[in-house]
Amino acid sequence: MSSEATAHKITRPNLVAVGTIVWLSSELMFFAGLFAIYFTTRAVQGPTIWSQGAELLSIPFAAANTTVLVLSSVTCQFGVFAAERFQNKRTGSFFQMSKWGMREWFALTFLMGAFFIAGQVYEYAVLVSEGLTLSSTAYGSIFYIATGFHGLHVTGGLIAFLIVMLRVAKARRFTHSQATTAIVVSYYWHFVDVVWIALFSAIYLIK
């Protein structure tokens, strides 16, 4: 193979990564539609009905849950750094986080994401007990639709982490393909985290 052909092969964008970015762009449009529905419904219903629904939300609890999800992006990125250096598992003691590999960082990210989903389910249970349901008011409908669809995306990310960790655990060696898969999953996870920050700001903070 000539040096020119080799250079072309090396510099060619990874098709999986490009495809993921294109798909995430379509997902961004989906959530943009949800934001449009949220603010349009809010404008039509008026501040009184909206404030009555918003008063039921626990901002401190949601903020704590949000912090866990945002920090999971940090642990996910540490997993990506490990994948980029082809370190699939820890090289030292479990308590030496500096020597963790991709599997340990992704496992921690999974637990943090699962904690977020558990917190969201708990919040739903409390709100339903207080009378805010999907069909009770327009506020309840858009709240559950917006946060629920995001929760489904987070759950999809958790499944992706499980698949990556299982594939790596069963493989004899950590390959470039597996590292690429881990990086692509991180793109998705960072995306759902950023979307939640926007949702949290719109639903919980903007009065």
Query: Quick check: helix, strand or coil at residue 178?
Result: helix
CB–CB of 17/184 below 8 Å? yes
- The answer to the question of residue 101 being in a domain is yes
Res 94: pLDDT: 80
Number of domains into which the chain is organized: 1
What average pLDDT values come out for the chain (207 residues) when binned by 10 residues?
Answer: 40 62 81 88 78 87 97 96 86 82 94 97 96 88 93 95 90 81 92 95 87
Q: What is the CATH number of the domain that holds 175?
A: 1.20.120.80
Can you give the residue range of the structural domain that contains 141? 16-205
Flag whether 8 is in a domain.
no
pLDDT of residue 10: 39
pLDDT digits (tens, 9 = 90+) for 43-58: 887 777 788 778 899 9
Q: Quick: pLDDT tens for 64-76.
A: 999 999 999 999 9
Residue 23 lies in a domain: yes
Name, in order, each residue with C-beta under 8 angstroms of 98's C-beta and a sequence gap of 6 or more: 92
